[in-house]
A and B are shown apart, each in its own frame.
Chain A
Amino acid sequence: MNLKKDVCVIGGGVMGLATAYYLLKAGKSVAILEKAEIGGGASSSCDDMILLQSKKPGIALTLAMESLEIYRGLSDELGSDLGFYSHGGMIIIEDEKQLKIMEDFVKKQVSYGLDVEIVDRNTLFKKQPHVARYMIASTYSKSDSQVNPLMLMRAFLHNGLNMGLDVLRNTIVQEIKQQGDHWNVSGQNGIHVECDNVVIAAGAWSGQVGELFDIEIPITPIKGQLAVTEQIAPIGETNCWTAAYIASKHDPSILGDRSSYDKEIGLGFSFTRAGEGNYLIGSTREHVGFEKATDFKAISKILEQARKYFPIMNQVNIIRTMAGFRPGTKDGSPIIGAVDGFPGLYIAAGHEGDGVALSPITGKSVAEMICGVGNHKRFEELNLRRFAVALAKG
Chain B
Amino acid sequence: MCDELICRCEEVSREEIEAAITDGAVTMNEVKRFTRAGMGLCQGRTCRRLVERILSEKTNTPLSEIQTSSYRQPVRPVRSDLIQEYNNLEEEQ
**Chain B residues, Cβ within 8 Å of A150:** 33-34, 36
**Chain A residues, Cβ within 8 Å of B34:** 150-151, 153-154
Cα distance, A322 to B72, chains bound together (Å)? 7
Closest Cβ of chain A: how far from B50's Cβ, in Å?
19
Known: A294-B72, A318-B77, A319-B77. A299 touches B83 (CB 8 A): yes
Chain A contact-residue range equals 35 or more
Cα distance, A75 to B91, chains bound together (Å)? 48
Chain B interface: which of A3-11, A59-67, A302-310, A337-345? A302-310
Asked whether, in the complex, the Cβ of B23 is within 8 Å of the Cβ of A169, the reply is no
Residues of B36-93 contacting chain A, CB below 8 A: 36, 39-41, 43, 72-74, 77-81, 83-84, 86-87, 90-91
Asked whether, in the complex, the Cβ of B80 is within 8 Å of the Cβ of A303, the reply is yes
Closest Cβ of chain A: how far from B81's Cβ, in Å?
5
Residue in B25, B72, B80, B90 whose Cβ sees the most chain A Cβ within 10 Å: B80
Asked whether, in the complex, the Cβ of B78 is within 8 Å of the Cβ of A314, the reply is no
A-B interface contact total, Cβ < 8 Å: 100
B27 on interface, CB distance cutoff 8 Å: yes
B5 on interface, CB distance cutoff 8 Å: no
A229 on interface, CB distance cutoff 8 Å: yes
Closest Cβ of chain A: how far from B54's Cβ, in Å?
17
Cα distance, A38 to B27, chains bound together (Å)? 9
Known: A300-B87, A304-B84. A318 touches B23 (CB 8 A): no
Asked whether, in the complex, the Cβ of A44 is within 8 Å of the Cβ of B33, the reply is yes
**Chain A residues, Cβ within 8 Å of B15:** none
Closest Cβ of chain A: how far from B77's Cβ, in Å?
4
Known: A167-B24, A230-B77, A319-B77. A40 touches B83 (CB 8 A): no
Cα distance, A40 to B67, chains bound together (Å)? 14
Asked whether, in the complex, the Cβ of A154 is within 8 Å of the Cβ of B80, the reply is no
Cα distance, A293 to B30, chains bound together (Å)? 20
**Chain B residues, Cβ within 8 Å of A246:** none
Asked whether, in the complex, the Cβ of A296 is within 8 Å of the Cβ of B90, the reply is yes
**Chain A residues, Cβ within 8 Å of B10:** 276
A376 on interface, CB distance cutoff 8 Å: no
Cα distance, A355 to B23, chains bound together (Å)? 23
A157 on interface, CB distance cutoff 8 Å: yes
Partner of A318, one of B26, B29, B30, B78: B78
Asked whether, in the complex, the Cβ of B79 is within 8 Å of the Cβ of A37, the reply is no
Would you give the 0/1 interface string for A35-62, flagging 1 where the beta carbon is closer than 8 Å to chain B?
0011110001000000000000000000
Q: Can you offer 30 A-B residue contacts whose CB atoms are under 8 A?
A: A37-B27, A38-B30, A153-B33, A153-B34, A154-B23, A154-B25, A154-B33, A230-B41, A276-B10, A294-B72, A296-B83, A296-B90, A303-B80, A304-B84, A307-B81, A307-B84, A313-B80, A314-B79, A314-B81, A315-B81, A317-B78, A318-B77, A318-B78, A318-B79, A318-B80, A318-B83, A319-B77, A320-B72, A320-B74, A321-B74
A positions within 8 Å CB-CB of B:
37-40, 44, 150-151, 153-154, 157-158, 161, 167, 169, 227, 229-231, 276, 294, 296-297, 299-300, 303-304, 306-307, 313-322
